[in-house]
Structure 1
Amino acid sequence: MDVVKEVKLLKYQMSLMKHMVNAEEHPFFMFAIDHEFEENQVNAFLKALGVFSLRIKGEDISVLYQDDYLFSQFNLPLDNVYASSQPTLEELELYVSKIFYQKFELKYLLYSLKKQFIQTEVCDFFLQRLKTDLK
């Protein structure tokens, strides 16, 4: 099968799968499909959310600090990622722009994660900051 036919087939199969997946149960996965996120992008972002979770709770993250290929492929500065300070909205926006290479409403990404019960505390933390910044 030639490349053009393969791509058309994959796009059709993706369309069929989107009809099968319940968007209410898996809003982040639908967001990832709609925005054509790659696996390494999703993995890096979810790992960043995990680090943010530890930082928000004030837990020790020094054991996590290492030469991290997952973050380095997106040119994320490891000193910032593994800082002991509270994460900022600007930091989240920077990581999103470096990992996903595209613009979208950050609140929709956070709401999709929260509705799928992925790092809900981190999502609430940043959603609250988004509301505060809008006032």
Structure 2
Amino acid sequence: MRTLHIGLRVTDLPRSLEFYAAIGYEVVGTVPETPIGQLTMLKLPGDEFVAVELVHDGDPVEHGTDVSHLVVRVESMADTLDVLAGRLIEPVGPVRDHGRGMKTAFVADPDGRPIELVQWPAGHPDGMTAADCPEKGAGE
């Protein structure tokens, strides 16, 4: 088994598509009519598969009832924030430096959903591993 993608309800689809394109996502395809609304599939250029599904049914999204946050790996926090600033997207709060090259920052999508940007230290795997977790889960 593996996680396929996360579905996010959005209030204003064109505005959300513009935002997600600005942070690097590209549209893979759409499913115009489903029981839960129009679906738009997104992925980052380096991803092989869809990572995010935007779900638009015309109803407003109540922030805090759908998802905690999304996480996007970036090569350079400074370069990414410069590009986003040029697209009028500013971080929410300060950039945190966790030492040894790891940095994190948050931006918010048009529905107020937090997107965490992560710059891994040099040589770190592309994703999180058990080494990134101070405590292992139960049964491990």
Normalised by the length of structure 1, the TM-score is: 0.27
Q: Going by fraction, where is helix more abundant, 1 or 2?
A: 1
Which one has more relative contact order, counting CA pairs under 8 Å at least 6 apart?
A: 1
